[in-house]
Structure 1
């Protein structure tokens, strides 16, 4: 009788069982543990590709499985950068974002001479935004400059968001002014930062100069006007938003209603 070749681990990867797509997210924790057991038996956890995919599947599946993914990763003495980045990413979106920095430090002490990349800092900036600790944001900023990722668009927009959450508008301007050709993401982040921190004049100036404006930028300026008590400007921009055919969201309406809180303006707007 001809023996059938076992292709179990490869089949799992090919079908998405160890990937971060929709199929892997439907795996139960019990199924993931069964896969873990088979990978251990067959020695596949020594393969960087399988380890990285498996850790990603667990860590990104649910915040409740982070400790288990940490246990799996701990069994490998030389984890890949992909696996560590997945852990940083998962913890940056969890209720304990400070644990992202444990895996960031692990990059430098795991013994296989890996270095952080742009994805590392993108996720680390997200963790900083969650923590809102005034020392952490600048420290991360210094590290990413050291490793040459200060011009990555996603990192830059993330830094602007972090500094705006901390109320460091001057630092937002420094980051934005260091960008030779800011893209839509960075421009929108800066508009949102200025509007949130009360510099609605600069926010509007930048908004008007943008070749394309997404709903986030529109909402940010309208909200900024409303927060600063410039209700007429908020309602006027809302009118232009409708003329441009931009989709109005709940966020938009909250800002518009805030701008309409003054009785005379409210009555005057709805009479027109």
Structure 2
């Protein structure tokens, strides 16, 4: 390890299992002091258990690192505020926020009720916004006090939020919202020394065990486990370090040994007749535009 994050304090939400745990351990291995947040809920968000957060803290400490647990609900104002306060009380500073907490309640749209919609959007989207809002308020205060931070936020998006995913309307909408939030936060907070990016990982977790069941059944070539959540963490650590100062407002896909820079919505082909379109004219223009445009990326789980 290089000690890339020595002296930094990182908060990771949803860090008791899966990707969050891998991120917390990797940050600690690079010298960061870590606040490990996890409610310990089931894969659908039900229940709760403080054990996972404490287990990750114990593992970091056993390896010689520094960590404290936080078991509050980061999708509440009090939970998000106490998350930031925990970092400041325990370590005196906050440098990196990794928003990762989430769960799934997959349904086809016609079977998706409003409770499952609200629960998933709440944890993924509000659970990103509130920690970011409270961390940003702290960093802005630091900057105004003449102590400009080199702060980093790494949000967790998904391919579902970039191209859609059949059976995951609630999750895809929330993750698309995370990307929008990332872009706005990067634009607003840059003046305070804050860099904000997102990753769209593909890895084996409780949330994806059915999605990657076939891949997980295959032997790992050369001993490389392509679906291990630890494959995502090196990029998260780098984005959470001071080295990433020139990178903000970006979304990176991470899968196995591949890192992809996703390029977002931007103007494509256009037609302008200098006046209001007729209905027929608008339709004809759209057909022409589609004929000159690249086809959209296929929706996950959709027909080929």
Q: What is the TM-score with the length of structure 1 in the denominator?
A: 0.32
Higher strand share: 2
Higher helix share: 1
Greater C-alpha Rg: 1
Q: Which has the higher contact order (CA 8 A, sep 6+)?
A: 2
